[in-house]
Chains A and B, each alone.
Chain A
Amino acid sequence: MFDDFTSSFWANTIDGMTVGSIYALVALGYTMVYGVLRLINFAHSEIFMIGTFGALATMQITGINGPFTGFALVAVLLLCLAGSMLASGGAAVALERIAYRPLRKRGASRLAALISAIGASLFLQELFATVIIPKWFAHGRGRDTLGLAQAGGEPRRLMDKEVLFSIGSGDVRNDKVLIIVAALAMMIILQLFVTRSKLGRGIRATAQDPETAVLLGVNIDRIVVVTFLIGGLMAGAAAFFFLLFYEVTSYFIGFILGIKAFTAAVLGGIGNLKGALVGGFTLGLVENYGASIFGSEWKDVIAFTILVIVLMFRPTGILGESLQRARA
């Protein structure tokens, strides 16, 4: 039992950090929306799912097929990343417009908003399962898991996954390094945006005290849209990295990942941008270590148990809740 843990420690560390950075990027969307609106954006998992299909669509439309190397690889990766971020960002803004803004205007209860979010989540999942995937991606089989290799009929590859070097038992593969570095870079950019830019200041002001923010000339509607857009863009990036790493997607892919990303957000301290990062890595690592001890079929159970335990003993998370209190 613990032999498995020690023998695969480094491999699990590297995998945990890769998955953790994906969790962290998705968690940012939950955290920002929660910080500003006090709403668990339940449909955020579907925003992520839409991102994976955005990347797939980009590959299908352009017909790119690798493996690529060098500058071609960078260009292709950026193109697909743009495709997934665009799809997710657009979906997030549309979601805010249709499912949340009418409720917000009416000053509705949070329970109503959460139920609307669940409705939107169901709707988006089923829209993909019954209409979009059968029509454009898998020809009639909307509920199957799609491999990157079969999407659109022809085998597709973006890059050769090579082992760069090894630490102990862990092979450091180029795609994992790419994901971790890119995710960290995006989070640093986001942190700078929120703490340094004018819009970022508006976001923090709204999170802290919406009424005063309005009095001081913050356009709340715009702030809320920007918040959803940023959350969507980050989820889109995470979606592409997910596709690159696992090479599969389906209409249901967002569900478990969404819960885990939310767990990561709560773990780090919801409303706290750095918390999303800390929570994401913590969850990714603990989950992988736990799986090496108890068996990988218990991975999800471990993640949810961690959520329950954290909420029991430290409901504000590791770093505390503080989009409101974050000052530049």
Chain B
Amino acid sequence: MSARNALDGLRSTAAVPGQKLSSWWGGAPVYQRYAVYVLLFVGALLLPYSGLAPIMSPHAKWSSILFFPIGIYVLLAIGLNVVVGYAGMLDLGYVAFWAIGAYSMADLSVRYHWTFWEILPVGILMAAISGIILGAPTLRLRGDYLAIVTLGFGEIIRKVAENAEYLGETRGINNVPHPPDITGVNIGGVDIFDYGIRDARPYYYLLVVVITLVIIMVKRMEHSRIGRSWAAIREDEDAAELMGVPTFKFKLLSFAIGAAVGGAAGVVWAAKVSFVAPAAFPFILSATILAAVVLGGSGNLPGVVLGAFMVAWLPERFRGAQEYRELIFGAVLVAMMIWRPEGLIPSRQRKAELAEGGGGSGHLGAEVAEVSK
């Protein structure tokens, strides 16, 4: 009991600066908010600064780590957050959409010689369509069935890639071309549009731009009618339906948007690594991205970005512990669900929902033992 009280005390003291910050943010004028946004964007662009490298990544090249896993995980987590955090559906096969984007890039560029910029919209569209194809029959199901179906879908995609001769079986597709270069645009000593092998920074800048665009899009949606519908569905689907929210349509929309973001991440990633094989898309990656969303605070973008950053960066920073990465992950997931299910930086709304016990797919059965006391 005393440990519990101590924990509560710790939590309340830790919450004070956070609350101050969020109440300032709530009352800040528009120009101040935009100044923060711009600062964050510039900060992201300055991250590959080589002075940071020895601290942030003593084992591997900092700028390439920033692209993968950090940048890609952040983008995937933002996409998955639309499905899990906003609409409250559990997608355990999210990596499949990433794979579809990556294979679109690899196949269309190697076989049909399309360029990166032509493939990007097509890859996004392919992923979104596959999201709709998967979602249309399954989104009418209860939440936990959906989790298993998406898990099955993730495995189907990987198995198909492994067995289809057209996609190179387990060998995958080699020599995927990089995006076309524009030489001569040199800012701060980096040819920012020169997509070579050695310098990862141009890819990273490209990814930052993609992430920024996605964040703007998602943020706009969150505060629109769409976002409110998602919140209603997440909190109580039946009530939302009764109040006239076309739940199926909005669930499908969130699924398609999540898939599209995953597809975008896949295209960008394939263009950098130039080698796409089924082994890059295991289930554990879906679980990792989900962990990022949940750990950071599902439904809250800053939390999700932080969660993805931590999940991607910590194992790279502490290479010695890499063997035990998933072990630690698993334990942290269980511990978080027991003590802080709302995540590191939760959205206030989401926290309230979880404290109430709802927060997605209803209550556990056989729970009355304690609640009724």
Contact = CB atoms under 8 A, between A and B. Distances in A.
A114 B332 contact: no
B149 A210 contact: no
Interface in A96-117: 98-99, 102-116
B222 interface: no
B151 interface: yes
A171 interface: no
Interface centre among B160, B323, B333 (most CB of A within 10 A): B333
B287 A122 contact: yes
Contacts of A119: 291, 329-334, 336-337
A116 to B, nearest CB: 4
B369 A220 contact: yes
B141 to A, nearest CB: 6
A103 B370 CA distance: 11
A121 interface: yes
Contacts of A118: 92, 287, 290, 330, 333
B327 A113 contact: no
Contacts of B142: 315
Most chain-A Cβ atoms within 10 A of its Cβ — which of B145, B148, B155, B287? B148
A244 interface: no
A114 B357 contact: no
Contacts, number: 197
B148 A262 contact: yes
B287 A125 contact: no
A308 B159 contact: no
A102 B144 contact: no
A38 B354 contact: no
Contacts of B88: 111
B364 A38 contact: yes
Given A98-B334, A118-B290, A262-B148, A112 B341 contact: yes
Contacts of A104: 364, 366-367, 369-370
Given A38-B364, A315-B141, A107 B153 contact: no
A300 interface: yes
B176 interface: no
B209 to A, nearest CB: 32
A39 B88 CA distance: 16
A316 to B, nearest CB: 11
A114 B90 contact: yes
A186 to B, nearest CB: 25
A322 to B, nearest CB: 15
A55 interface: no
Interface in B134-152: 137-138, 140-145, 147-149, 151-152
Contact of A116 (B149, B337, B360): B337
Contacts of A315: 140-142, 145
B273 interface: no
B149 A38 contact: no
Interface residues of A, number: 60
A307 B153 CA distance: 10
B30 interface: no
Given A40-B147, A123-B331, A210 B368 contact: yes
B159 A300 contact: yes
Contact of A103 (B90, B140, B364): B364
Contacts of A211: 368, 372
B243 to A, nearest CB: 21
Nearest to B337: A116
A103 B148 contact: no
Interface in B346-373: 354, 357-372
B163 interface: yes
A109 B143 CA distance: 12
Contacts of B190: none
Interface string B319-343: 0000110110111111011100100
Contacts of B330: 118-126
Given A102-B338, A259-B151, A113 B364 contact: yes
Interface of A: 36-40, 98-99, 102-116, 118-127, 130-131, 206-207, 210-211, 214, 220-221, 223-224, 255-256, 259, 262-263, 266, 297-298, 300-301, 304-305, 307-308, 311-312, 315
8 contacts: A103-B337, A106-B357, A107-B363, A112-B360, A115-B294, A120-B333, A120-B334, A311-B141
Interface of B: 88, 90, 92, 137-138, 140-145, 147-149, 151-153, 155-156, 159-160, 162-163, 283-284, 287, 290-291, 294, 323-324, 326-327, 329-334, 336-338, 341, 354, 357-372
Lowest 4 CB-CB distances: which A-B pairs, in order? Answer: A119-B333, A123-B330, A122-B330, A111-B360
